[in-house]
Structure 1
Amino acid sequence: MDRRSFIRKAGFAGAGAAAATTLAAPAIAQTAPKVTWRCTSSFPKALDTIFGAAVTMADFVRESTDGNFDIQVFAAGELVPGLQAMDAAAAGTVECAHTASYYYWGKDPTFALATAVPFGMNVRQMNAWMYYGGGNDLLNEFYNTHGLHGLACGNTGAQMGGWYSKEINTLEDLKGLKMRIGGFAGKIVEKLGVVPQQIAGGDIYPSLEKGTIDAAEWVGPYDDEKLGFYKVAKYYYYPGWWEGGPVLHTLINQAKWNELPKSYQAILTAACQAANCDMMASYDYKNPEALKRLVAGGAQLRPFSQDVLAACFEAANSTYKEINASNAGFKKIYDSQMAFRKDAYLWAQVSEYTFDTFMMIQQRSGNI
């Protein structure tokens, strides 16, 4: 093809493209309407990482739509109390909420499966199950019965086992212990004599300080340091066996979700997935230094004994059997998760565990 012929044809193509752009503009405008939503969080602004996941999500949406889709994020208590965030979204008081689904397990224990259940899956396994194992579809089948659409939007990774005013050496030490413990886990530890308390994040410190509770779990070193728990309870236990990979969700009023243009649904879905990844990376970066500061400040690290863990594992399994016998919705999601968990841990111990264990030995030996 000679040069002049190419330019002439390119010119016609350019003119056609310009015309197409002009003709398409009204249609594009119609599919990119001005939408303003309110998102109420279950968390205070002081917890910049966990509260920040919703802000990250909203920023992605706003920037991806040139400001046309604006989600305004409000901290716990600014619009509704933190533990009423989901209810506000379901009722349409706000368009969406950023919360932990297991806060609402009292309505139906199935809510807990969307966040974390004792001795469930870790963060990578939860993501794999949700994104590739049909988990999101199963969860939304359940959420839809409550007028909601859910999108995973954050994960803390395996949490710590909490702060205690006394050492927990045996099962006897758990009896009568008044403990702030989130969601469904309270039902499990209750079988071991613990008196579970569900208290919002901002109220935990004064409850520990006044002796209203004897112990409390929250998230992990970075957030726990911010809330100052080490000042009022020095024993810091691990692991948080009830939260191996707890997922936060953006829970959206289903009618509002259905009203969104498909492009906005896609952008919001992608933004939540990005925030889900971002939050875990942030915690992985911040927790190591925070843990060193806590120990330097007097925190006494303690592992739960194998006897305590085994008793908790048994209590959890017996509880699942009870619920599965009477709640078909719970059983459907639980069976899907546990089938994947079995294979996931088979794979994890082959390569990941072997590599990580070797590297941890090197770290302890001072080689890295």
Structure 2
Amino acid sequence: MERRSFLKKAGMGVVAGTAVVGAPAVAQDNPEIKWRMASSFPRSLPALFGTSEKFANYVKEASGGKFIIDVFPAGEIVPALQVMDAVSNGTVQSGHTCGYYYFGKSPAYCFDTAVPFGLTARQMMAWILEGNGKKLLRELFDPINIVNFPLGNTGVQMGGWYRKEINSLEDLKGLKMRTSGFAGEVLSRMGVIPQQIAGGDIYPSLEKGTLDAVEFVGPYDDEKLGFNKVAKYYYYPGFWEGGPQVSAYVNKGEFEKLPKHYQAIIESACMHATANMLAVYDAHNAAALRRLIAGGAVLKEFPKEVLDAGYKETVQLYKEFSDKDPMFKKIHDDYMAFRDDLAPWFNLVEGSYTRYLAYAIAQSRKS
């Protein structure tokens, strides 16, 4: 089904579900509303910033042009890392950001994006929709006047760009690295000096030598930001971001003022835009990686020693935060039980299939 057709039918459907009488009620039930959405991302990243624009377009189309959401890139209304506050206090009605940017407020917010050795993109959506994820995250955000929705997922990310090779844990010591949230805390225990810097400010810091390494997303975005020009070693996997979700945060008071069918349109538009973002990354990462390697990037796998240390520190941190914060523990226990239940199945079918397929393709290209 084409996007426009889908959205118009979706919009009519949710309206019909709330209208007392048929078609004439549609126009009456679609009041003119205008919102602002502050993004944590620059316009130069079409997958991230573009997803919020797609979301706004979906809302506009499904409401017959009556519900308009103007999207602003990082810095135009508020700085990239202050979007949550702006939504919470009503400066803007909505925002597009990542929960783990606000780790300093509460580590539990990271569960809305990603935690080290956590869920993949598909598993995250399963936890949200079929597990207890939606209920638990709504409980988490309710005290700060926010209603949260998934609004994008990048899929598993890379481990970042480094000026030097990482051959052992010793090579991480003293490394000034751009990273966010829970990952920064884990890496700091491994000797890294974490720096939280908004996406648009990373390249200048790397170029000037303020940073020794940077992790952001993956080939499609990293190529656009030019990290390979100043740090040639490209490591994988990003064990701290197995399936990072990006979110729409909506001011609770503003959301509750909306007609019920507008609320439904927001939720439907978020889901549609989320699927689109993941499709963009899946479609473009491979080609971007080939271009980066052709341009001189050196692809490297983290040593097992690094992964083992990362896992050990992660488990210890989970315990420490759970002991201090009942809400963190409540979400953590449910999230990890869900992860542990799914992991063997995904390894059995997805893992075996993708490993063999990669082998078979490589062999066929040799012949």
Question: Is TM > 0.5 for Structure 1 vs Structure 2?
Answer: yes
Equivalent residue in structure 2 for 1:338, among 330, 336, 339: 336
- State the Cα distance separating 1:254 from its structure 2 match: 0.6
Unaligned runs of 5+ in 2: 1-18
Flag the structure with larger Rg: 1
Which residue is equivalent to 2:242?
244
Following the alignment from structure 1 to structure 2, what is the Cα–Cα distance between the partners of residues 355 and 25? Answer: 49
Which residue is equivalent to 2:72?
74
> 1:163 corresponds to which letter in structure 2?
W
After the TM superposition, which parts of structure 1 deviate over 2 Å for at least 4 consecutive aligned residues?
21-31
Equivalent residue in structure 2 for 1:64, among 62, 65, 71: 62
Following the alignment from structure 1 to structure 2, what is the Cα–Cα distance between the partners of residues 159 and 83? Answer: 20
Which residue is equivalent to 1:42?
40
Equivalent residue in structure 1 for 2:293, among 286, 292, 295: 295
1:351 aligns to what SS in structure 2? helix
- State the Cα distance separating 1:30 from its structure 2 match: 4.3
Equivalent residue in structure 2 for 1:93, among 45, 66, 91: 91
1:97 aligns to what SS in structure 2? strand
| Kept in 1: contact 2:37–2:70 (CA 8 A) | yes
Q: Does 1:185 align with 2:183?
A: yes
Which residue is equivalent to 2:230?
232
Q: How does 1:153-164 map to 2 (within 5 A)?
A: 153-164=151-162
Following the alignment from structure 2 to structure 1, what is the Cα–Cα distance between the partners of residues 189 and 21? Answer: 67
Using a 3 Å threshold, how does the CA distance of structure 1 residues 22 and 341 change in structure 2: closer, same or farther?
A: closer
Equivalent residue in structure 1 for 2:266, among 260, 268, 273: 268
Unaligned runs of 5+ in 1: 1-20
> 1:280 corresponds to which letter in structure 2?
L
Equivalent residue in structure 2 for 1:147, among 145, 148, 156: 145
2:355 aligns to what SS in structure 1? helix
With the length of structure 1 as denominator, give the TM-score of the two structures. 0.92
Following the alignment from structure 2 to structure 1, what is the Cα–Cα distance between the partners of residues 23 and 121? Answer: 43
Which residue is equivalent to 2:136?
138
Using a 3 Å threshold, how does the CA distance of structure 1 residues 362 and 31 change in structure 2: closer, same or farther?
A: same
1:366 aligns to what SS in structure 2? helix
> 1:160 corresponds to which letter in structure 2?
M
| Kept in 1: contact 2:138–2:148 (CA 8 A) | yes
Report percent identity of matched pairs. Answer: 52
> 1:171 corresponds to which letter in structure 2?
L
Q: How does 1:349-368 map to 2 (within 5 A)?
A: 349-367=347-365
| Kept in 1: contact 2:39–2:74 (CA 8 A) | yes
1:249 aligns to what SS in structure 2? strand
Following the alignment from structure 1 to structure 2, what is the Cα–Cα distance between the partners of residues 307 and 22? Answer: 64
Which residue is equivalent to 1:220?
218
Which residue is equivalent to 2:8?
none
Following the alignment from structure 2 to structure 1, what is the Cα–Cα distance between the partners of residues 64 and 224? Answer: 34
Q: Deviations over 1:9-48 (max 9, x none)?
A: xxxxxxxxxxxx9965675444311111100000000000
Which residue is equivalent to 2:123?
125
Q: Deviations over 1:133-173 (max 9, x none)?
A: 02011101111111100000000000000000000000000
Which residue is equivalent to 1:327?
325
Which residue is equivalent to 2:314?
316
Following the alignment from structure 2 to structure 1, what is the Cα–Cα distance between the partners of residues 85 and 357? Answer: 45
Following the alignment from structure 2 to structure 1, what is the Cα–Cα distance between the partners of residues 318 and 21? Answer: 59
Which residue is equivalent to 2:9?
none
2:152 aligns to what SS in structure 1? strand
Following the alignment from structure 2 to structure 1, what is the Cα–Cα distance between the partners of residues 135 and 306? Answer: 35
Which residue is equivalent to 1:15?
none
Using a 3 Å threshold, how does the CA distance of structure 1 residues 26 and 181 change in structure 2: closer, same or farther?
A: same
1:80 aligns to what SS in structure 2? coil
Equivalent residue in structure 1 for 2:251, among 250, 253, 257: 253
Following the alignment from structure 2 to structure 1, what is the Cα–Cα distance between the partners of residues 87 and 63? Answer: 23
2:85 aligns to what SS in structure 1? helix
Following the alignment from structure 1 to structure 2, what is the Cα–Cα distance between the partners of residues 44 and 145? Answer: 29
RMSD (CA atoms): 1.5
Which residue is equivalent to 2:277?
279
| Kept in 1: contact 2:107–2:181 (CA 8 A) | no
With the length of structure 2 as denominator, give the TM-score of the two structures. 0.93
Using a 3 Å threshold, how does the CA distance of structure 1 residues 25 and 357 change in structure 2: closer, same or farther?
A: closer
- State the Cα distance separating 1:367 from its structure 2 match: 4.6
Q: Deviations over 1:69-109 (max 9, x none)?
A: 11111100111111111111111000000001110010011
Following the alignment from structure 1 to structure 2, what is the Cα–Cα distance between the partners of residues 39 and 271? Answer: 14
| Kept in 1: contact 2:233–2:299 (CA 8 A) | yes
| Kept in 1: contact 2:160–2:214 (CA 8 A) | yes
1:365 aligns to what SS in structure 2? helix
